[in-house]
């Protein structure tokens, strides 16, 4: 088990955004979290990554309790994420964006930078070459010197993934990676996510596009109104009457075809 | 002594509250610290002197002091509101969708401009408010109150009540609240956002004009640099009460006035101007949303 | 037509202040200048600006070389101005770390500048230290002040931060103004000695210029090195998107602390150089307007760009000197300039990449 969530609850004011959610994630799988809008998927991500403090419950990453840690500490431990609305560093180049991802895997400080020591130079070179590798892996190496804000939408999403990979995570959380992509881009994205799994990383994605979900997931969790209503393999979920009733409803036809 | 300081504090606090309302209204709708608002207040004070001067020269003051003062108030409020309206159109509207820092810097630019504009046209020396109002004092429980103090306290309270009614009861007021809540939603409901923003600036500037005029009457002197410090303090008052909150600005203004006047008499008058900032920093440390501000986390 | 009406409206508004005649002149003035603007835009709008390939290395070498021979070319009075430019460049480099790199709008930087200047003044006049032995202490004090302010400031975001830093700046100024027994209040501290190098007093303007120029080069070099390092990237990412920066494993709180104390460090150096150049300090040199002025420099040059900082300081210090006859109008122009800059070229004169 790479991740274990126990009774995780988040209350905003009086509103329960997620309520006593528990699940376990096996190493090396692709897990999809689905559910209608407002089901609490992004809130769950925010609680897992420390962006929001959870009200109750525990998150264990590689058997270590990370519940009340700050986001940067969680990243250091090996969980990386992307955001639902793109949050690239707009006025920096694509390469610089990915180099920032290497932050927690490098340590040279102010003094060595000023002196320009050999060790500093070596580390800088390493950061740069690794960043280029991640750009190549995600297929946006041609844009290395472009400002991130000038990148097309789909490539900004790839940049977010490259940047997250650059933090060298064991577990990668992707928040609606296929949203707003055309079918070709979606296909390529699915390949990319599979490639990440082959690399030995664990991936959790939030996704609305059922083709993506059913096409790549090893396991699916369904949330509705902040509560986990089902989990299982894609096959099980497709045939789960609760899911069809509570969530899929209109999309049923879509799903079965 | 203590009661006397309370009265003095309430007088100044009422003025702070009126200016603070302008900050809070604009912040509630545009999330912009309208840095130039202090200058609008200063312009209001100057306009009071200028118009009263004109009316006195025309012989109106001698004929009826009340009418002359009334017209001075009306004219200052109108012209000052026009200034606020124009500043928004020229310096903020083109930056509606720019990064947050840009309109703030633009506002600082407007503030510098207006200050120097008044200094160049009206001179760098203090201007004296015409001595036309007879000052009577009232003694009550060992407290001396001037008629002006009573006037200022009552007028500020009335204006605050009026604004409250305007915001809560009128259609425009309701639209203002809707825009403050959610601009996109409000525009979908057919509310003209540009118009509401203009109204906000007009109302805020009008209140600032009244505050400026009352201060000019109270101290008898104005200077082109009064806007900066009063603006900062009023902003402090707005933050103190929780920026964006209208009752917050009122309470914040009065509290700040009291703190200053009590601090000046019991601690040290040399640091009178520093109390506002010290209180501001302390409040924000304990409760970053201000006294009456909405607490609760926002989703990122 | 709408535009002319709007100009007429503005002129009308100015009448209470400028009189009827003044308002009329203003109306004619803005109409004519608007006409000229439209005409020029029409004439030059079609000409495409040729892209001039700029060799930045060559350019900066030439610029430094020019800076070195400068005192031989100009009168003493202008050497004096050049020293002031250099001091402002160091100060603006410090502000740039906080505002330009890290995106923390700090409106109280004059406080650190003032703490630097007063530390130098007090250490040299009260305690009899020399410039060089006082300097490390001065820099330590200002960096500590930067850290101290960071505690309350870092819990706040955006506008709140701006206003708290502004308040901090004002508190420091009021303390300098009122703590008579130490700072001698509004009268200031005089007779601050010049620095000595190898027993040689740097009192001559030209020598002092070279001293300050040396510091500018060191500061620019160090800031540039840090900018192109892991630390610099961390600062930039905080400016761009704090949540995303934190998700990249950056301890944003720590880096904000670093930015504030590192920025204050340079402001302290600028303050110390200012004090020993003027031989006199008083609170009025460290007002809020000073803080705004420095922020304007980096905005004018281009937020975050080091050549931009230098250009911005150069323009804003030199312009009032060149336009001495228009001194009354310089602040007016600064105000208008800021607004226009935000509307038409918010990225500043020099934009990186």
Pairing of strands C200-201, A202-206: unpaired
User: What pLDDT digit, counting tens, does each position of B132-169 carry?
Assistant: 777 788 777 777 788 888 888 889 999 999 998 998 88
Find the CB nearest C249 among A89, A93, A103: A103
Give the Cα separation of C291 and C280 in Å (integer): 20
Question: What pTM was estimated for this model as a whole?
Answer: 0.86
3-state SS, C55-95, equals: CHHHHHHHHHHHHHHHHHHCCHHHHHHHHHHHHHHHHHHHH
Residue B235 to residue B204: CA distance in whole angstroms: 13
pLDDT of residue B35: 86
What are the angstrom distances between the C-alpha of B195 and each of B40, B187, C170? 20, 11, 37
Residue C316 has pLDDT above 60, yes or no: yes
Spatial contact of B280 and C167, defined as CB atoms under 8 Å apart:
yes
Flag whether A44 is in a domain: no
ipTM for the whole complex: 0.89
Burial class (CB in 10 A: 0-12, 13-18, 19+), C136: exposed
Which residue of B101, B120, B240 is the best one to mutate when testing the C interface, meaning the one whose CB has the most C CBs within 10 A? B101
Rounded to whole angstroms, what are the CA distances from B286 to B273, B283, C104, C156? 21, 5, 21, 11
pLDDT band at B84 (very low <50, low <70, confident <90, very high): very high
Rounded to the nearest angstrom, the gap between the alpha carbon of residue C278 and the centroid of all alpha carbons in its chain is 18
For chain C, list the domains and their CATH numbers. Answer: 1-54 (no CATH), 59-344 (1.10.3470)
**Residue C198 backbone class (left: φ over 0; alpha: ψ -120 to 50; beta: rest):** left
- pLDDT digits 0-9 by tens, B240-277: 888 778 888 889 999 999 988 888 888 877 777 788 88
The secondary structure of chain B in percent helix, strand, coil, rounded to multiples of 5, reads: 75, 5, 20
Name chain C contacts of B118, Cβ cutoff 8 Å: 17
The pLDDT confidence band at residue A257, using thresholds 50, 70 and 90, is very low
Reference A84, options A190, A173, A214, A213; nearest CA is: A173
Q: pLDDT at residue A252 above 70?
A: no
Assigned domain for A50 exists:
no
Q: How high is the pLDDT of residue B32?
A: 84
Q: What phi, psi does A203 have (nearest 5°)? A: -125, 130
Average confidence (pLDDT) over C159-163: 79
pLDDT > 90: what percent of chain C? 32
Task: Over range A214-228, report the average pLDDT.
Answer: 90
Which of C305, C306, C300 lies closest to C336, judged by CA?
C300
* Alpha-carbon gap: B10 to the closest alpha carbon of chain A (Å): 35
CA A157/CA A178 separation, integer angstroms? 8
| Residue in chain A nearest B297 by alpha carbon | A12
CB atoms within 10 A of CB B74: 12
* Residue C7 near residue C34 (C-beta atoms within 8 A): yes
Q: What would the mean pLDDT of B11-22 be, rounded to a whole number?
A: 90
pLDDT in tens, C97-123: 999 999 888 888 999 999 999 999 999
Q: Are A52 and B297 within 8 A, CB to CB? A: yes
Task: Please state at what angle helix C230-240 crosses helix C205-227, rounded to 10 degrees.
Answer: 80
Residue C49 has pLDDT above 60, yes or no: no
Output the pLDDT for position B297: 38
Contacts of B108 in chain C (CB under 8 A): 292, 338
Per the CB < 8 A criterion, the answer to whether B222 and B127 are in contact is yes
Q: How far is CA A238 from CA A31, A117, A179, A214, B135, in A?
A: 15, 58, 21, 9, 85
Instruction: For residue A7, tell me if it sits in a domain.
Output: no
Of the candidates B196, B286, B250, which has an alpha carbon nearest to the alpha carbon of residue B23?
Answer: B250
> How many angstroms separate the CA atoms of A196 and A165, rounded?
9
Chain C residues within 8 A of A85 when measuring between CB atoms: none
Residue among A89, A97, A121 with most chain C CBs within 10 A, to mutate:
A89
CB contact under 8 A, B50 and C16: yes
Q: Give the pLDDT score at B218.
A: 87
Residues of C whose CB is below 8 A from A76: 249
Minimal-distance CA residue of chain C relative to A146: C353
Residue contact C17–B117, C-beta within 8 A: yes
Interface test with B, best of A12, A48, A49 (most B CBs within 10 A): A12
Helix axes C288-301, C109-125, angle to 10 degrees: 120
Asked if B299 reaches chain A (Cβ–Cβ under 8 Å), the answer is yes
What is the distance between the alpha carbons of residues B123 and C160, in angstroms, rounded to a whole number?
Answer: 34
Query: Strands of A219-224's sheet, edge to edge?
Result: A79-81, A171-175, A202-206, A30-34, A219-224, A227-232
Categorize the per-residue pLDDT at C93 as very low, low, confident or very high, splitting at 50, 70 and 90. very high
Q: Mutating which of A48, A52, A101, A113 best tests the C interface, going by the most C Cβ atoms within 10 A?
A: A113
Q: Taking residues B11-25, what's their average pLDDT?
A: 90
Q: Does A103 touch chain C (CB under 8 A)?
A: yes
Check if A150 contacts C (Cβ < 8 Å).
no
- How many angstroms separate the CA of residue C351 from the nearest CA in chain A? 10
How far is C208 from chain B, CA to nearest CA, in Å? Answer: 33
Question: What is the pLDDT confidence band of residue A247, given thresholds at 50, 70 and 90?
Answer: low
CB-CB contact of C64 with C86 (8 Å): no
- For residue C248, which phi and psi values (nearest 5 degrees)? -85, 5
Max CA separation in chain C (angstroms): 71
Of B82, B113, B236, nearest to C332 by CB-CB distance is B113
User: In the predicted model, is pLDDT for residue B82 greater than 90?
Assistant: yes
> Nearest-CA distance from A215 to chain C in Å?
28
Q: Which residues of chain C lie closer than 8 angstroms to A127, CB-CB?
A: 230
Would you list the domain boundaries of chain B?
A: 12-224
| Contact between B299 and A12 using a beta-carbon 8 Å cutoff | yes
Residues from chain C that touch A70, judged by Cβ atoms under 8 A, are: 246, 251
Contact across the interface for C247 and A70, Cβ inside 8 Å: no
Q: Check residue B151 and give its pLDDT.
A: 87
Residue-level pLDDT at A249 = 57
pLDDT of amino acid B300: 31
- Which pLDDT band holds residue C53 (cuts at 50, 70, 90)? low
Q: Which of A108, A114, A167 minimises the CB distance to C248?
A: A167
Whole-angstrom distance, CA of residue A34 vs CA of residue A176: 10
- Paired residues of A224 in beta bridges: A227
Give the residue, C247 or C58, on which the prediction is more confident. C247
CB neighbourhood size of C328 (10 A): 11
Query: Which chain A positions have a beta carbon within 8 Å of B99's beta carbon?
Result: none
**Which pLDDT score is estimated for B263?**
85
**C176-192 tens-digit pLDDT:** 988 888 888 888 888 88
> Do residues B233 and B22 make contact, with C-beta atoms less than 8 angstroms apart?
no
For residue A60, the cross-strand partners are A4, A65
Residue A12: list chain B partners with CB under 8 A.
Answer: 296-297, 299
Distance from CA of A85 to the nearest CA of C (A): 11
Instruction: State whether B109 and C338 contact (CB < 8 Å).
Output: yes
The reported pLDDT for the residue numbered C52 is 60
Q: Cβ contacts of residue A236 below 8 Å, gap of 6+? A: none
- Which value, in Å, is the radius of gyration of the alpha carbons in chain A? 19
A128, pLDDT greater than 90: yes
Place A174 in a pLDDT band, splitting at 50, 70 and 90.
very high
Q: What confidence score (pLDDT) does residue B296 get?
A: 40
Mean pLDDT of chain A: 88
Contact B297 A46 (CB under 8 A): no
Chain B residues near residue C341 by CB distance under 8 angstroms: 109
Beta strands, E only, A45-147? 56-61, 64-65, 79-81
Extract the runs of DSSP E, i.e. beta strands, from A75-225: 79-81, 171-175, 202-206, 219-224
The residue count of chain B comes to 300
Mean pLDDT of B230-238: 86
Bridge partners (DSSP) of residue A12 are: A15
**Res. A72 pLDDT band, cuts 50 70 90:** very high
What is the pLDDT, as a whole number, of residue C50? 55
Judged against a pLDDT cut of 90, whether residue A95 lies above it is answered with: yes
Chain B nearest-CA residue for C164: B281
In angstroms, what separates the C-alpha of C210 from chain B's closest C-alpha? 34
Report chain A residues whose CB lies below 8 A from the CB of B296: 12-13
With CB atoms and an 8 Å threshold, state whether B102 touches C178. Answer: no
Average pLDDT score, chain C: 86
The residue with greater pLDDT, A1 or C47, is: A1
Task: Report CB contact under 8 Å: A89, C236.
Answer: yes
Per-residue pLDDT reduced to its tens digit, C1-25: 777 888 888 888 888 888 888 888 8
CB contact under 8 A, B300 and A43: no
Please name the member of A75, A105, A120 whose beta carbon is closest to the beta carbon of C247.
Answer: A75
Of A24-33, A107-116, A166-175, A216-225, the least confident: A107-116
Distances (CA, A) of C211 to C86, C92, C113, C277: 10, 18, 18, 11
Band the pLDDT of C48: cuts 50, 70, 90. Answer: low
CA gap B219, B49 in Å, rounded:
12
Alpha-carbon gap, residue B226 to B205, rounded angstroms:
16
Chains that touch B (3 or more CB pairs under 8 A): A, C
Q: CB count, 10 Å around CB of A225?
A: 15
Q: What is the pLDDT of residues C246-286, one digit of tens each?
A: 999 999 999 999 999 999 999 999 999 999 999 899 998 89
- At B295 the pLDDT is 46
Dihedral through CA C84, CA C85, CA C87, CA C89, nearest 10?
Answer: 170
Dmax over CA atoms of chain B, in Å, equals 62
Residue of chain B nearest C151, judged by CA positions: B285
Res A239: pLDDT: 85
Q: Given CB atoms, is B270 within the 8 Å cutoff of chain C?
A: yes
Domain, as residue range, for A129: 90-166
Classify residue B121 by burial, with Cβ atoms within 10 Å: 0-12, 13-18, 19+. Answer: middle
B100 contact residues in A (CB cutoff 8 A): none
How far is it, in rounded angstroms, from Cα C294 to Cα C316? 9
Stated as kind and residue range, the H or E segment containing C304 is none
Reported as a single tens digit per residue, the pLDDT across C168-177 is 888 899 889 8
Subunit contact C174:B271, Cβ cutoff 8 A: yes
């Amino acid at each position: 088990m790479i991740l274990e969530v126990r009774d995780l609850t988040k209350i905003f004011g009086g509103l329960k955004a997620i309520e006593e959610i528990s699940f376990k994630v096996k190493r090396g799988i692709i897990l999809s979290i689905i559910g209608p809008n407002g089901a609490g998927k992004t809130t769950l991500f925010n609680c897992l990554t420390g962006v929001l403090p959870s009200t109750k419950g525990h998150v264990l990453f590689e058997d270590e309790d990370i519940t009340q840690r700050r986001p940067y500490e969680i990243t250091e431990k090996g969980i990386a994420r992307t955001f639902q609305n793109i949050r690239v560093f707009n006025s920096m180049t694509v390469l610089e964006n990915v180099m920032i991802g290497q932050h927690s895997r490098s340590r040279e400080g102010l003094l060595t930078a000023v002196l320009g020591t050999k060790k500093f130079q070596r580390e800088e070179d390493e950061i740069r070459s690794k960043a280029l590798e991640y750009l190549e892996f995600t297929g946006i190496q041609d844009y290395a010197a472009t400002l991130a804000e000038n990148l097309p939408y789909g490539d900004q999403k790839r940049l977010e993934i490259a940047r997250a990979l650059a933090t060298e995570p064991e577990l990668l959380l992707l928040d609606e990676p296929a949203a707003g992509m055309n079918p070709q881009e979606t296909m390529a994205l699915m390949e990319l996510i599979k490639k990440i799994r082959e690399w030995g990383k664990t991936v959790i994605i939030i996704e609305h596009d059922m083709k993506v979900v059913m096409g790549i997931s090893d396991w699916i969790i369904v949330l509705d109104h902040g509560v986990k209503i089902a989990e299982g393999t894609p096959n099980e979920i497709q045939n789960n009457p609760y899911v069809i009733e509570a969530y899929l409803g209109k999309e049923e036809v879509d799903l079965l075809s | 002594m203590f009661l006397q300081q309370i009265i003095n504090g309430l007088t100044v606090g009422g003025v702070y509250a009126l200016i603070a309302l302008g900050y809070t209204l604009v912040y509630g709708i545009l999330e912009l610290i309208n840095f130039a608002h202090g200058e609008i207040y200063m312009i209001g004070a100057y306009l009071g002197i200028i118009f009263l001067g004109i009316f006195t020269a025309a012989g109106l003051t001698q004929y009826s002091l009340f009418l002359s003062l009334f017209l001075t108030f009306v004219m200052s409020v109108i012209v000052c509101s026009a200034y606020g309206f124009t500043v928004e159109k020229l310096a903020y509207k083109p930056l509606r969708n720019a990064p947050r820092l840009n309109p703030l810097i633009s506002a600082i630019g407007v503030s510098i401009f207006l200050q120097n504009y008044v200094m160049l046209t009206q001179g760098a020396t203090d201007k004296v408010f015409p001595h036309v109002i007879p000052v009577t004092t009232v003694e009550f429980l060992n407290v001396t109150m001037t008629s002006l103090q009573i006037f200022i306290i009552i007028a500020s309270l009335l204006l605050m009540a009026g604004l409250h009614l305007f915001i809560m009861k009128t259609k425009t007021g309701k639209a203002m609240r809707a825009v403050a809540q959610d601009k996109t939603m409000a525009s979908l409901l057919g509310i003209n956002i540009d118009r509401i923003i203009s109204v906000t600036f007009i109302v805020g500037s009008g209140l600032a004009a009244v505050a400026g005029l009352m201060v000019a009457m109270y101290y008898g002197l104005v200077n082109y640099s009064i806007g900066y410090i009063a603006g900062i303090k009023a902003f402090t008052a707005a933050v103190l009460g929780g920026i964006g909150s209208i009752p917050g600005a009122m309470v914040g203004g009065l509290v700040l006035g009291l703190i200053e006047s009590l601090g000046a008499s019991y601690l040290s008058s040399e640091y009178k101007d520093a109390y506002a900032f010290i209180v501001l920093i302390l409040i924000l440390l304990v409760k970053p949303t201000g006294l009456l501000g909405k607490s609760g986390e926002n989703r990122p | 037509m709408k535009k002319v009406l709007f100009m007429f409206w503005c002129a009308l508004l100015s009448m209470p202040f400028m009189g009827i005649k003044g308002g009329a002149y203003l109306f004619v003035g803005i109409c004519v200048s608007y006409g000229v603007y439209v005409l020029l835009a029409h004439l030059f709008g079609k000409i495409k600006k040729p892209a001039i390939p700029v060799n930045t290395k060559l350019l900066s070498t030439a610029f430094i070389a020019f800076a070195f021979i400068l005192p031989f070319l100009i009168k003493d009075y202008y050497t004096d101005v050049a020293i002031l430019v250099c001091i402002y460049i160091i100060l603006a480099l410090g502000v740039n770390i906080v505002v330009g790199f890290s995106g923390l709008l700090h409106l109280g930087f004059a406080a650190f500048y003032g703490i630097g200047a007063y530390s130098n003044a007090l250490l040299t006049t009260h305690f009899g230290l020399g410039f060089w032995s006082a300097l490390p202490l001065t820099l330590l004090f200002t960096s500590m002040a930067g850290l101290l302010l960071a505690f309350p400031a870092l819990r706040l975001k955006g506008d709140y931060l701006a206003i708290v830093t502004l308040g901090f700046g004002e508190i420091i100024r009021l303390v300098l103004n009122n703590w008579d027994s130490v700072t001698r209040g509004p009268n200031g501290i005089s007779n601050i000695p010049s620095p000595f190098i190898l027993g040689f007093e740097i009192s001559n303007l030209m020598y002092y210029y070279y001293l300050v120029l040396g510091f500018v080069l060191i500061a620019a070099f160090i800031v540039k090195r840090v900018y192109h390092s892991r630390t610099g990237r961390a600062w930039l990412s905080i400016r761009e998107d704090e949540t995303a920066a934190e998700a990249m494993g950056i301890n944003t709180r720590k880096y904000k602390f670093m930015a504030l104390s590192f920025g204050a460090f340079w402001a302290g150096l600028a303050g110390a150089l200012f004090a020993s150049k003027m031989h006199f300090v008083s609170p009025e040199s460290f007002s809020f307007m000073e803080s705004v002025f420095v922020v304007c420099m980096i905005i004018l040059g281009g937020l975050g760009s080091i050549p931009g900082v230098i250009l911005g300081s150069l323009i804003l210090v030199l312009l009032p000197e060149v336009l001495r006859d228009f001194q009354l109008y310089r602040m007016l122009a600064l105000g208008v300039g800021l607004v226009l800059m935000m509307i038409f070229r918010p990225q500043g004169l020099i934009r990186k990449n």
